[in-house]
């Protein structure tokens, strides 16, 4: 039986590209989504039509019971969980003085509590198996901070802290925990940026372009492969050189 990977927010953007890359590399991929059911099911169908194993599954990563249900389902049906990619995330743009408590909580519930809940449930199988790979998707803003994105930047810094602490905790169980910190990547998350802001981001990126979801997916595919078996607690910056 093939190894099993759970990808949160696999329905679109970077998550969908991660599902593509991991399916190509032989994993059975669980495409988690919250509302984009049609996109997740279309991706499942597309992967299956090419002979890959994939299944779309609806789970809001903020919901403790739903996350428990997801991992019970996967462990029951597939008997193992080899890889968890915590990719589901939301962003928020605005002055800190305008951020409401609800907006702050929304960001942290999805980006940080979601990753915590997913790790906690996945580890039940991984620790028993004495193997596993967790990759958390942070952001370059979690490393250096972005003006008008204090809530988002803080949440992505927390994801790096979670990664490093957990890497120490579960290393003795044969589990690696790493981060990928993308730069500016062309997805729905960038939809609200003006053309001017987009051009500015490209100008500030030494490699002279925005990232693609596939750029980020390849870093994830490396971290879950045998080639990365001695790497843990690390943050890989896939950002075209924008933050060095």
Residue for token pair 């919250």: 34
Distance separating alpha carbons of residues 111 and 231, to the nearest angstrom: 23
Q: Considering the complex, what minimum distance in angstroms separates the CB of residue 172 from ligand NAP? A: 28
Which residues are paired to 238 by β-bridges?
Answer: 182
Residue 163 and residue 138 in contact, taking contact as beta carbons nearer than 8 Å: yes
Q: Which of 33, 57, 93, 152 is catalytic?
A: 152
User: Does the annotation count 57 as an active-site position?
Assistant: no
**Half-sphere exposure at residue 131, Cβ-oriented, CA atoms within 13 angstroms:** 12
Which residue lies nearer to ligand NAP by CB, 126 or 185?
A: 185
Q: Considering the complex, what minimum distance in angstroms separates the CB of residue 142 from ligand NAP? A: 8
Q: Considering the complex, what minimum distance in angstroms separates the CB of residue 187 from ligand NAP? A: 3
Comparing CA positions, the residue from 189, 186, 187, 99 lying closest to residue 149 is 99
Q: Considering the complex, what minimum distance in angstroms separates the CB of residue 185 from ligand NAP? A: 4
Which residue lies nearer to ligand NAP by CB, 11 or 154?
A: 11
Long-range contacts of 163-169 (CB under 8 A, 24+ apart): 163/134, 163/136, 163/138, 163/233, 163/235, 164/233, 166/119, 166/134, 167/232, 167/233, 168/233
What residues line the site for ligand NAP (CB under 6 A)?
A: 8-9, 11-15, 32-36, 60-62, 87-91, 110, 114, 137, 139, 182, 184-185, 187-190
Which residue lies nearer to ligand NAP by CB, 103 or 129?
A: 103
Which residue lies nearer to ligand NAP by CB, 34 or 133?
A: 34
**Tokens linked to 9:** 């927010």
Catalytic residues: 152
């Amino acid at each position: 039986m093939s190894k099993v990977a759970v990808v949160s927010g696999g329905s679109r953007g970077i998550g969908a590209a991660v599902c593509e890359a991991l399916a190509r590399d032989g994993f059975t991929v669980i495409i988690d989504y919250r509302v984009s059911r049609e996109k997740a099911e279309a991706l499942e169908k597309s992967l299956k039509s090419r002979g890959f194993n994939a299944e779309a599954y609806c789970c809001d990563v903020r919901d403790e019971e739903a996350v428990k249900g997801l991992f019970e389902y996967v462990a029951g049906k597939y008997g193992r969980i080899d890889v968890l990619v915590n990719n589901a995330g939301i962003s928020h743009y605005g002055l800190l003085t305008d951020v409401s408590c609800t907006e702050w909580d929304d960001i942290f519930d999805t980006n940080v509590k979601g990753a915590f809940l997913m790790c906690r449930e996945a580890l039940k199988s991984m620790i028993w198996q004495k193997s596993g790979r967790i990759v958390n998707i942070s952001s370059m803003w979690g490393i250096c901070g972005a003006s008008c994105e204090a809530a988002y930047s803080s949440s992505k810094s927390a994801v790096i802290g979670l990664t490093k602490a957990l890497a120490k905790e579960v290393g003795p169980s044969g589990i690696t925990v790493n981060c990928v910190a993308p730069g500016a990547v062309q997805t729905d998350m960038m939809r609200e940026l003006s053309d001017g802001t987009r051009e500015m981001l490209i100008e500030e990126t030494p490699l002279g372009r925005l990232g693609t979801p596939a750029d980020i997916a390849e870093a994830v595919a490396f971290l879950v492969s045998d080639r990365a078996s001695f790497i843990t607690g690390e943050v890989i910056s896939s950002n075209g050189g924008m933050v060095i």
